[in-house]
């Protein structure tokens, strides 16, 4: 019997010889593809408070393996349950439908392969022992019959990634070519080959490439919505669907939830989805994202005229197709989706595919159900997503308008997880007679009476994160440092996931009292610390869910750091550990909730401003708007009044006179199915999407579309699509954009006494900001106001400073 270390990529099962066999697909430490087969495991569910003769009745069922009674903790009390093990996972639904109207059922929605992972307590990386077998059903390097398996420390086996792109006829839809680019496990990137010829030949050649190269990951740009779908459609039309044997089980691709594709044993990771999730780019085209991430662009081929391009120069189109596949691969690597997926898989003890394609509740399930099963706690099925009254959120201490110097920022270390641990908050400890009472009246048993599952799991995760961070600090290479940094970030994500899941309306262990009591404890903790700080003479200017901003009485960095460090030590408490995170010098807010900007000068001075809540953070703002606001903030923080007003004046004037790049005026927003809107024809994004389609470009519902407003006076306003890398032929409505710039600036300058109307009126005059305006805005020194409430109109910027 031999042994192998394996990173599990995906899990499934198949029917073989009248048995459901678990399949674990992965990659060994020495980069061999593998499928691990596990026999003799059966799916099961529980019936709460069964009838006396039910066990005997089930044992007579030919599809039932066993039925045994077992006591379980259900909703805080012990109940007798009947564990029913059945032969086939695909019959779980039949049993559920027959019984759910008469009995409370547990564990019915846990997938067969997940149940196997939970019961065997297997993680993302395992050492498996068994024997290799010859089996023509799989195309992996190894087929292993499992004898035993244990979880081991995680490792990166060096995944092979295949990126592809298709080009097809615009007029007739048929395929011209499919080009593939490969990243080998050692990191080398190479062009593989392009498939040309008849459609049947193209599709079969592409399948041959997949089988020969045996990639762990298949990617491309928008392949979920377009490329794979198009290949499947053309294969069906050519009656060769069965030849799409892309899976490591020789299976064909299948779509899941009408959103993503599954290829057994391989990860299908769309670079478009990855970039969208990680970057939230303003423009989502391949060209725009490639330029943003890589500084590279697509080659000069017009996809709207692909038929003419192919007829005139096939080599050029093939080069273009290869480049698109290469850019998609590089984007996927740059945003790190697969690497982050492996890190989350390690912490949550799941196959990578589960992390990449499932919701956050799947991560929580993997950790929680294992412990619940071991401690005989019943696991109910998930509920339906329903709209409920929102839980009151964390406390926000509003900031008055002002410019503040030497601000110490204190962060609560993992606040919600810390409160869950310190207050023993859990569905297993929720009890009307509990000793621990939340500010909203919800009670929990103390740890002496019953330690909750949630606190125990979170405490283990917190200790694990601290251990990983210690190893990260002592790393001997940048690669090792990055590896541990990714792991600790994954632990943090999962820790914070617990609150979100338990505050949801659908999760299997959800109780509204749990979510509301956590936020109630959080509000109480923040308010009490702020009260103590203010009673001790500290000036607290702002706080949100998990941080507090305090003005230092000292006017230099060294003493401010000492001040902030002392605050963190002095005011930390059980369930509210404070960490001194950074120093801002200075900090500005115009007095609106959760909106501020500052310069970070400690622990590491940063060139970029820290901006929260303003348009620079919004993906649907246009670049000139964001750039102007960032510059304005810079001048405000420098207390350079003249430069601030001059910059706003020049920006508005330049826009009015068309002296700005058209690309800086592009607005982007996601667009759903057109019929999802009550009045689609009044929506600018729908208008842009329809015009894109009329121009020959593809539109996928859910994607962002980009446009430039050309006439805002009409209702609805007229917009023209903007395609990155292509000339824009329309004429922007420059007055519309000037008004948007003035509106954005006025939200800030209104604090100084100048509103949008003032800016626009001035911008229409040759003596803009001249005469009376200049006299009112001349520089002088002054202190920041203590409050922005009902203050009189200021006569000049320097009055504010």
Q: Which residue has the higher pLDDT, 506 or 669?
A: 669
Q: Contact at 8 Å (CB) between 717 and 711?
A: yes
> Residue 265: left (phi > 0), alpha (psi -120 to 50), or beta?
left
Query: Exposed (0-12), middle (13-18) or buried (19+): which is 775, by Cβ within 10 Å?
Result: exposed
pLDDT digits (tens, 9 = 90+) for 626-637: 999 999 999 999
Residue 762 has pLDDT above 60, yes or no: no
Q: Indicate whether 134 and 250 sit together in one domain.
A: no
Query: If pLDDT is split at 50, 70 and 90, which confidence band does 642 have?
Result: confident
Q: Indicate whether 625 and 577 sit together in one domain.
A: no
Cα(128)–Cα(144) distance, integer angstroms: 9
Residue 743 has pLDDT above 50, yes or no: yes
Query: Which of the 8 DSSP states describes residue 765?
Result: S
pLDDT digits (tens, 9 = 90+) for 332-345: 999 999 999 999 99
Look at residue 773 in the predicted model and tell me its pLDDT.
31
482: in domain: no
Q: How many domains does the chain have?
A: 4
Look at residue 187 in the predicted model and tell me its pLDDT.
92
Q: For residue 521, what is the domain's CATH number?
A: 3.90.1600.10
Residue that is last in its domain, among 570, 602, 634: 602
Look at residue 760 in the predicted model and tell me its pLDDT.
66
Average pLDDT over residues 358-387: 89
Look at residue 685 in the predicted model and tell me its pLDDT.
95
Q: Indicate whether 622 and 597 sit together in one domain.
A: no
Average pLDDT over residues 244-265: 94
Q: What is the mean pLDDT of the chain?
A: 90
Q: Indicate whether 546 and 441 sit together in one domain.
A: yes
pLDDT digits (tens, 9 = 90+) for 477-498: 998 999 999 999 999 999 989 8
Q: Indicate whether 713 and 785 sit together in one domain.
A: yes
Q: Indicate whether 221 and 109 sit together in one domain.
A: no
Query: If pLDDT is split at 50, 70 and 90, which confidence band does 131 have?
Result: very high
pLDDT digits (tens, 9 = 90+) for 662-715: 999 999 999 999 999 999 999 999 999 999 988 888 788 888 999 999 999 999
Residue that is last in its domain, among 554, 574, 602: 602
203: in domain: yes
Residue 779 has pLDDT above 50, yes or no: no
- Long-range contact list for 630-636, CB < 8 A, 24+ apart? 632/745, 632/748, 633/588, 633/597, 633/609, 633/748, 634/609, 636/403, 636/588, 636/597, 636/748
Q: Contact at 8 Å (CB) between 132 and 2?
A: yes
740: in domain: yes
> Residue 391: left (phi > 0), alpha (psi -120 to 50), or beta?
beta
Q: Indicate whether 140 and 11 sit together in one domain.
A: yes
Cα(494)–Cα(124) distance, integer angstroms: 15
Q: Which residue has the higher pLDDT, 773 or 10?
A: 10
Look at residue 614 in the predicted model and tell me its pLDDT.
85
Least confident of 32-41, 63-72, 299-308: 299-308
Look at residue 646 in the predicted model and tell me its pLDDT.
86
Look at residue 759 in the predicted model and tell me its pLDDT.
63
pLDDT digits (tens, 9 = 90+) for 232-241: 999 999 999 9
Q: For residue 285, what is the domain's CATH number?
A: 3.30.420.10
Residue that is last in its domain, among 133, 151, 169: 151
Q: Which residue has the higher pLDDT, 453 or 753?
A: 453
Residue 115 has pLDDT above 90, yes or no: yes
**Strand 189-195 to 260-262 pairing:** unpaired
Q: What is the pTM of this model?
A: 0.87
Q: Which residue has the higher pLDDT, 309 or 616?
A: 309
Residue 73 belongs to domain spanning: 2-151
Query: If pLDDT is split at 50, 70 and 90, which confidence band does 398 have?
Result: confident
The CB density around residue 37, as the number of other CB atoms within 10 Å, is 20
Residue 102 has pLDDT above 70, yes or no: yes
76: in domain: yes
Q: Contact at 8 Å (CB) between 25 and 248?
A: yes
- Locate the DSSP E strands across 140-226: 142-151, 161-168, 175-183, 189-195, 217-219
Share of the chain above pLDDT 90, in %: 76
**H helices present in 474-610, as ranges:** 478-502, 512-535, 557-571
653: in domain: yes
Nearest to 426 by CA among 456, 406, 401, 399: 456
Cα(179)–Cα(192) distance, integer angstroms: 8
Query: If pLDDT is split at 50, 70 and 90, which confidence band does 755 have?
Result: low
What number of H helices and E strands is found in the chain?
A: 24, 28
467: in domain: no
Look at residue 391 in the predicted model and tell me its pLDDT.
64
Query: Exposed (0-12), middle (13-18) or buried (19+): which is 314, by Cβ within 10 Å?
Result: middle
pLDDT digits (tens, 9 = 90+) for 217-236: 999 999 999 999 999 999 99
Q: Indicate whether 269 and 412 sit together in one domain.
A: no
Q: Indicate whether 138 and 251 sit together in one domain.
A: no
Residue 750 has pLDDT above 80, yes or no: no
Residue 425 has pLDDT above 60, yes or no: yes
Q: Contact at 8 Å (CB) between 605 and 582?
A: no
Q: For residue 138, what is the domain's CATH number?
A: 3.30.342.10
Q: Which residue has the higher pLDDT, 505 or 786?
A: 505
Look at residue 337 in the predicted model and tell me its pLDDT.
96
Q: Indicate whether 648 and 722 sit together in one domain.
A: yes
Exposed e or buried b per residue across 73-95, where buried means at least 16 C-beta atoms within 10 angstroms of its C-beta: bbeeeebebbbbebbbbeebeeb
Cα(637)–Cα(598) distance, integer angstroms: 7
């Amino acid at each position: 019997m031999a042994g192998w270390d394996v990173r599990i990529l995906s899990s499934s099962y198949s029917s073989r010889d009248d048995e459901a066999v678990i399949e674990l697909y992965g990659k060994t430490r020495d980069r061999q593809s593998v499928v691990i087969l596990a026999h003799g495991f059966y799916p099961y569910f529980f019936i709460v408070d069964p009838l006396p003769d039910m066990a005997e009745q089930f044992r007579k069922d030919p599809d039932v393996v066993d039925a045994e009674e077992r006591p379980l903790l259900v909703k805080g009390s012990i109940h007798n349950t009947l564990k029913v093990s059945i032969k086939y996972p695909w019959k779980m639904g039949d049993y559920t439908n027959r019984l759910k109207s008469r009995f409370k059922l547990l564990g019915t929605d846990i997938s067969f392969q997940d149940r196997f992972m939970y019961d065997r307590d297997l993680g993302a990386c395992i050492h498996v022992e068994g024997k290799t077998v010859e089996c023509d059903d799989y195309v992996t390097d190894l087929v292993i019959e499992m004898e035993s398996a244990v979880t081991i420390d995680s490792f990166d086996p060096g995944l092979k990634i295949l990126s592809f792109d298709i080009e097809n006829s615009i007029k007739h839809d048929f395929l011209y070519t499919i080009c593939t680019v490969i990243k080998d496990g050692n990191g080398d990137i190479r062009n593989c080959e392009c498939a040309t010829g008849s459609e049947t030949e193209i599709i079969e050649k592409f399948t041959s490439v997949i089988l020969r190269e045996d990639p762990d990951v298949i990617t491309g740009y928008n392949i979920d919505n377009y490329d794979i779908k198009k290949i499947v459609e053309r294969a069906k039309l050519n009656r060769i669907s069965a030849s799409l044997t892309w899976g490591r089980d020789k299976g064909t691709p299948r779509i899941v939830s009408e959103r993503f594709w599954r290829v057994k044993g391989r990860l299908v990771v769309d670079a478009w989805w990855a970039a969208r999730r990680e970057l939230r780019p303003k423009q989502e085209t391949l060209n725009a994202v490639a330029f943003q991430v890589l500084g590279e662009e697509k080659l000069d081929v017009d996809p709207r005229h692909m038929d003419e391009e192919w007829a005139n120069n096939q080599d050029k189109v093939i080069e273009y197709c290869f480049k698109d596949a290469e850019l998609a691969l590089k984007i996927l690597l740059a945003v790190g989706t697969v690497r982050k997926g492996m890190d989350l898989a390690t912490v949550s003890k799941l196959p990578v595919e589960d992390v990449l394609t499932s919701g956050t509740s799947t991560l929580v399930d993997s950790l929680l159900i294992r412990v619940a099963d071991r401690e005989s706690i019943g696991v109910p099925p998930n509920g339906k997503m329903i709209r409920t009254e929102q839980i009151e959120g964390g406390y926000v201490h509003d900031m008055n308008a002002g410019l503040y110097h030497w601000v110490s920022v204190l962060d609560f270390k993992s606040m919600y997880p810390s409160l869950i641990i310190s207050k023993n908050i859990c569905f297993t400890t929720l009890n009307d007679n509990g000793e621990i009472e939340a500010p909203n009246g919800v009670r929990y048993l103390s740890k002496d009476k019953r330690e909750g599952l949630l606190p125990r799991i979170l405490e283990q995760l917190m200790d694990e994160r601290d251990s990983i961070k210690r190893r990260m600090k002592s790393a001997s290479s940048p690669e090792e440092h990055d590896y541990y940094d990714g792991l600790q970030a994954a632990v943090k994500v999962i820790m914070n996931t617990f609150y979100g899941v338990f505050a949801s309306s659908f999760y299997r262990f959800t109780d509204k009292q749990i979510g509301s009591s956590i936020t109630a404890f959080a509000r109480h903790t923040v308010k009490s610390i702020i009260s103590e700080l203010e009673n001790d003479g500290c000036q607290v200017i702002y706080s949100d869910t998990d941080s507090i901003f305090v003005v230092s009485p000292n006017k230099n960095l060294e003493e401010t750091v000492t001040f902030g460090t002392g605050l963190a030590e002095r005011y930390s408490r059980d369930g509210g550990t404070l960490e001194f995170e950074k120093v801002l010098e200075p900090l500005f807010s115009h007095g609106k909730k959760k909106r501020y900007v500052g310069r970070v000068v400690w622990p590491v001075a940063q060139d970029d401003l820290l901006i929260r809540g303003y348009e620079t953070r919004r993906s649907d703002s246009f670049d000139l708007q964001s750039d102007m606001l960032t510059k304005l903030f810079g001048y405000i923080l420098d207390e350079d009044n003249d430069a601030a007003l001059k910059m706003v004046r020049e920006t508005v004037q330049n826009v009015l006179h068309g002296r700005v790049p058209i690309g800086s005026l592009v607005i982007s927003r996601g667009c759903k199915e057109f019929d999802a809107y009550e009045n689609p024809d009044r929506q600018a994004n729908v208008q842009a999407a329809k015009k894109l389609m009329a121009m020959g470009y593809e539109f996928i519902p859910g994607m962002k579309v980009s446009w430039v407003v050309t006439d805002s006076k009409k209702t609805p306003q007229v917009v023209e699509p903007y395609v990155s890398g292509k000339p824009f032929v329309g004429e922007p409505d420059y007055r519309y954009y000037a008004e948007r710039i003035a509106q954005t600036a006025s939200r800030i300058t209104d604090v100084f006494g100048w509103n949008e109307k003032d800016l626009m009126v001035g911008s229409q005059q040759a003596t803009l900001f001249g005469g009376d305006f200049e006299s009112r805005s001349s520089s002088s020194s002054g202190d920041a106001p203590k409050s922005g409430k009902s203050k009189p109109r200021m006569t000049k910027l320097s009055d504010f400073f």
